[in-house]
Homo-oligomer: A and B are copies of this chain.
């Protein structure tokens, strides 16, 4: 249905149907019940179809003072895990809101300056992945917002988190049960709280379970398979000298790097070193060995965050401002030989 270059306006539809633009607006927005007769509604709908009209969100947003956009702000979408979050969000938002992604610089916390410009779009709401408190403060102004994966933000801000503490505890308990007494931790150097929380939870749990983690056994690098691989290659000699037999990784991407380096070094996983990660990426189950990992239900996180946002947009205040999703440990070959389970 090719259209002429000139865009179709409500006024054109109105003329075509022999009604006012007010009526067109009412019909186009589905607010016609009790305001528009069946007959006129038909004619307008007909005209809309015939001319190929669709509501101009710009004009509409200006008049309403708000758009139907929900913007998901994310610092890093390279993680496959993120696609699941989106699936979850989309399943809830449906056609009522349009979901748009704003990607800020990879690996960092979202940038407030950049995000503030998006506010000019008058989004109906914001979904923010892994924001820092600072980011949220900078944003200022009371606009509907739900944070995802933001374990350390103000309690007054709606958020959906993962139970990382439980996940870390599970990993450590698993290590303990396998008899490990000295561990290392491969961290990620991003400014996000998500990863800080993982590390701290790991260390705290290790202490409780009597597993020693020497400060020198904590090292961090970018979330990148290759970089993690190189770092581990450098560190392994010293860690081994310290008697390290288990390694916690901030992300499965790190664990992949370690697996790769181990192969190069002729180091056997898990007999010489047990490795566990976080995220349970699709690739983690199928690598060799499979990576023992804390599974986080990303789809559900997206779903619940969107649900919470809708509650806010509908004027209901969510009964639970912040919620935490359970995690579960997927035990695989990187900590325990296949068949030994």
| Chain A positions near chain B (C-beta within 8 angstroms) | 1-3, 5, 52, 54-62, 67, 69, 71, 76-80, 82-84, 86-87, 90, 98-103, 106, 116-122, 138, 140-142, 224-226, 229, 253, 256-257, 259-260, 263, 282-283, 285-288
Contact = CB atoms under 8 A, between A and B. Distances in A.
B102 A282 contact: no
Contact of A54 (B79, B120, B229, B286): B120
A160 B231 CA distance: 36
30 contacts: A1-B138, A2-B141, A3-B140, A5-B141, A5-B142, A54-B119, A56-B120, A57-B120, A57-B121, A57-B122, A58-B58, A58-B61, A58-B62, A58-B120, A58-B121, A60-B120, A71-B100, A77-B83, A78-B80, A78-B84, A98-B102, A98-B117, A99-B103, A100-B100, A101-B101, A101-B102, A256-B283, A256-B286, A283-B287, A287-B287
Which of A2, A71, A76, A141: most chain B Cβ within 10 A?
Answer: A141
Contacts of A260: 285-286
A116 to B, nearest CB: 6
Given A57-B120, A287-B288, A102 B100 contact: yes
Given A76-B83, A99-B102, 9 more contacts: A2-B140, A69-B121, A78-B84, A83-B106, A86-B103, A121-B121, A225-B283, A256-B286, A283-B287
Given A83-B78, A121-B57, A259 B286 contact: yes
Given A83-B78, A257-B286, A282-B225, A103 B103 contact: no
Given A57-B120, A62-B62, A120-B55, A263 B288 contact: yes
B288 A288 contact: yes
A5 B256 CA distance: 48
Judged by DSSP, the binding face of A is mixed
The 6 A-B pairs of least Cβ separation, nearest first, read A78-B83, A101-B101, A260-B286, A57-B120, A100-B100, A288-B288
A101 B225 CA distance: 25
A187 to B, nearest CB: 19
A118 B101 CA distance: 13
B282 A224 contact: yes
A138 to B, nearest CB: 8
Contacts of A120: 54-58, 60
Nearest to A141: B3
Contacts of A286: 225-226, 229, 256-257, 259-260
Contacts of A100: 71, 100-102
Given A141-B5, A282-B226, A287-B287, A122 B58 contact: yes
Contacts of A86: 77, 103
A55 B60 CA distance: 18
Contacts of A282: 224-226, 253
Contacts of A122: 56-58
A52 to B, nearest CB: 8
Nearest to A67: B58
Contacts of A2: 140-141
B285 A226 contact: yes
